[in-house]
Amino acid sequence: MRPVHTTALLASTLALGLSACTVSVRPNLGLQVSGSNLISGLKPDRGEGSTYAVGESVRILVGTRSPGYVTLVALQSNGYASVLVRNVYIQPGTTAFPRAQDGQSFTVAPPRGVQRVRAIFTRVRPSSDLVVSGTYDSSGFNTVTNAYVTSYPQADRDVQETFFYIR
């Protein structure tokens, strides 16, 4: 009996050790301006938390329940933020960015690590462009996003975030 007990203990310890290797922590979910449920889905084309090599193309899928305007902002692992798509009108359903009619592509580039993509959606045409320039920590990135959307009624805005890894 003792060898079976030891084997079971060893196997469960090994399983716990291996499971710890696959745990991933989702980037910032502390979006204070989200929650109106207008964005029904947001993910990279390979799925949230997927991995892309430098030089590969990525598409961002944005699902919405209402027509409106979307802005996509990327936050790199080094804290540098940039606007990918600005105030683009979309219909309800899923839209893949970049869109074919835009004639552009999103090619993955360094730095390696976690790439966050935030979708900002408003039902009404934004009165200004989101200005994102420079390097941000999570709280600074949230501050810029919050300041941009708080002028819109909560029922007319939504902000969601997804991520992928660059290797």
Task: Tell me what pLDDT residue 54 has.
Answer: 97
Task: Tell me what pLDDT residue 133 has.
Answer: 76
Q: Where are the domains of the chain?
A: 30-166
pTM, two decimal places: 0.79
Per-residue pLDDT of the chain (167 residues; tens, 9 = 90+): 445 444 343 333 333 333 333 333 344 444 555 556 899 999 999 999 999 999 999 999 999 999 999 999 999 999 999 999 999 999 999 999 999 888 889 999 999 999 999 999 999 998 888 888 789 887 888 888 888 888 889 899 999 999 999 99
Indicate the class that CATH gives domain 30-166: mainly beta
Distances (CA, A) of 58 to 44, 51, 101, 165: 7, 10, 16, 11
Q: Are strands 157-166 and 51-52 parallel, antiparallel or unpaired?
A: parallel
- 136 touches 79 (CB < 8 A): yes
H-assigned helices in the chain: 2-22, 138-149
